[in-house]
Structures are given as C-alpha cells and as structure tokens.
Amino acid sequence: MLKRHLHAAFRVLVLACCLLASPFAFAQCGCPSDGHGAKLVAGTGLGQAFPAVDPASRNAAWPVYEFQREGVRYVQINDRAGNVRAAIGLIGGMAWVLPMGIDADRVHVATGNALSAAGARRVFGNAELVIEYVLDRDRRPAWEVRVLAQSK
C-alpha cells in the first residue's frame, strides 16, 4: 500500500518538475544563426523573459540579448529567471536607458574609456560596448554601460 502511494507521489513530483522546467527549456529554442555561422540579431522580442534568440553574453547569471530594428540596436539584460533587469538603445556612438526593467533606475551610461568601478563585474563586452555591474549598498545591481566606439 505504501509502495503504491510513493509511486503515485513520484509521478506527481516528476510532472511538477517538468512543468516548472518548461519555460527554461523553451528559453533555449530560437534561431541562433542563419545556417552559415553568422549570428542573427533579433528584430522582435525586446522585453520578453526568454527572447527567441541566443544570449549575446556567456554569463549564465545575466543573459544579455541584442535586437535591431530600423537602424536602432537594443541591448536587454535579464536575470537567469527571465526577469528583465534593464535595456538600452544604441544609435551610432550614442546610448540611452529604456524605461523598462527592474533595475532601469540604476543604469548609468558613460562614453569613452571611463574606468570601471571598484569590484565591477563584466556581463557583456565587445569592441563597441561594455556592460558591468556592482552591488549597491542594498545589494541590488547597479549597471554601468560604456560605449567604446561607434557602431558600424
């Protein structure tokens, strides 16, 4: 009798785990390239928890997604649970903070080769843009976005 109840409880546990894991499985879907190795930048999906594009960053804790539409680039920072933390827009060498995300009020945009804050941790970087964060006194991430060069 106890064995039958444990067997039923195990099935329920497996079903619950599958349901909880499904958003994370769907996050891995998408179109990472055009089939020739060129990484695609999404034209839609900004603001979504798990956009249908591979993250541009290799930081598992802070996935960074890139989007482009009508000549404007957008970069979105999420946490691993899919919460949008912040997003910025880019045209040429100019960047601005979009009014979206949990941390939007704690994003600072700088240009040039400004020095990183002490203890800053990089989550994204290329020849054009660097995104780092430090924890503020309340242990919340404060983001520093540095534009290094104009986009091509």
Residue 81 has pLDDT above 60, yes or no: yes
Lowest mean pLDDT among 15-24, 72-81, 100-109, 135-144: 15-24
Given a contact cutoff of 8 angstroms between Cβ atoms, the answer to whether 128 and 151 are in contact is yes
CB count, 10 Å around CB of 11?
Answer: 10
* CB under 8 A, 24+ apart: contacts of 94-100: 94/147, 95/129, 95/145, 95/147, 97/145, 98/74, 100/47
The fraction of the chain above a pLDDT of 90, given in percent, is 53
pLDDT tens digits for 92-120?
A: 889 999 999 999 999 999 877 777 778 89
H or E, element range at 113:
none
Cα torsion 68, 71, 76, 82 to 10°: value is -30
